[in-house]
Amino acid sequence: MEILFEDNHIIAVNKKISDIVQGDKTGDEPLSEKVKSYIKKKYDKPGAVYLGVTHRLDRPVSGALLFARTSKALTRLNEMFLQKEIKKTYWAIVKEKPEKEADTINHYLVRDQKKNKSFAYNKEMKNSKLASLSYKIVASSDNYYLLEVDLHTGRHHQIRSQLAKIGCPIKGDLKYGFPRSNPDGGISLHSRRIEFIHPVKKEKISVVANPPDDSLWKYFVSILS
């Protein structure tokens, strides 16, 4: 497990594609429990370890994930997420080039619980929620484009469904129309950076997560660095 940032109040880790953030019907050990075990062992803590989940990443998505180590930090971080005071930047690899080099796109998303999928529409629909994001093309290879995505709202499968709606499904994302899966079973969507003011110390924090160990990701990182 790769720790990206850690102090007495918060801990950030680089989530792997196979990890689930919280327990689900699969019964697999969630990342939250792995982080608790890490804290318990490192600090030789007796009894139960407190850990608050502040946000989630879909199982096939990798990258920076933030947890709270105290209830005080969790309350403040939850409020900061609510007030959009925490900036999350994602990287997404797509095969089709978007019409515009950079754009802000808005859709209305309807979540289908049974299919665990969100459908994007250009106009308001029954039970829909407004979804907004900005993207820009930051790199390209012979066959793919790397988009940097900033979320303005936090909806279920938002980046996946919105990019698919504009004809740019994320590499490996079969659920949203990409024709082939990735060898690792994940999709090429990565939580690259989280920026915020520390909920207790009031210092600016920027957490950056390296993408999975994959030749295409490595290529994009190399040309951007």
Tell whether the model's pLDDT for residue 23 goes beyond 80. no
Look up residue 100 and give its two tokens. Answer: 């515009």
pLDDT of residue 109: 98
Per-residue pLDDT averaged across 16-34, rounded?
Answer: 86
pLDDT of residue 119: 97
Question: What are the structural domains of the chain?
Answer: 2-224 (3.30.2350.10)
CA angle 146, 151, 157 (to 5 degrees): 85
Please give the backbone phi and psi of residue 42, each rounded to the nearest 5 degrees, phi first: -65, -40
pLDDT band at 118 (very low <50, low <70, confident <90, very high): very high
CA gap 102, 108 in Å, rounded? 20
Look up residue 75 and give its two tokens. Answer: 């309350």
Tell whether the model's pLDDT for residue 70 goes beyond 90. yes
Per-residue pLDDT averaged across 168-183, rounded?
Answer: 97
Tell whether the model's pLDDT for residue 28 goes beyond 90. no
pLDDT of residue 225: 85
Q: What is the mean pLDDT of the chain?
A: 95
pLDDT band at 190 (very low <50, low <70, confident <90, very high): very high
Q: What is the CA 222 to chain-centroid distance, rounded? A: 21
Are 161 and 129 spatial neighbours (Cβ–Cβ below 8 Å)? no
Cα dihedral 160, 165, 171, 172, rounded to 10, equals 70
Digit-coded pLDDT (tens) for 74-89: 999 999 999 999 999 9
Tell whether the model's pLDDT for residue 11 goes beyond 90. yes
pLDDT of residue 125: 96
CA gap 20, 131 in Å, rounded? 24
| % of the chain beyond a pLDDT of 70 | 100
Cα dihedral 14, 15, 17, 20, rounded to 10, equals 180
pLDDT of residue 73: 97
Least confident range from 19-33, 113-127, 198-212: namely 19-33
pLDDT of residue 34: 95
Instruction: Write the burial class of residue 225 (CB in 10 Å: 0-12 exposed, 13-18 middle, 19+ buried).
Output: exposed
Please identify which residue in the block is written with the tokens 């990735």.
Answer: 182
Per-residue pLDDT averaged across 169-173, rounded?
Answer: 98
pLDDT of residue 161: 98
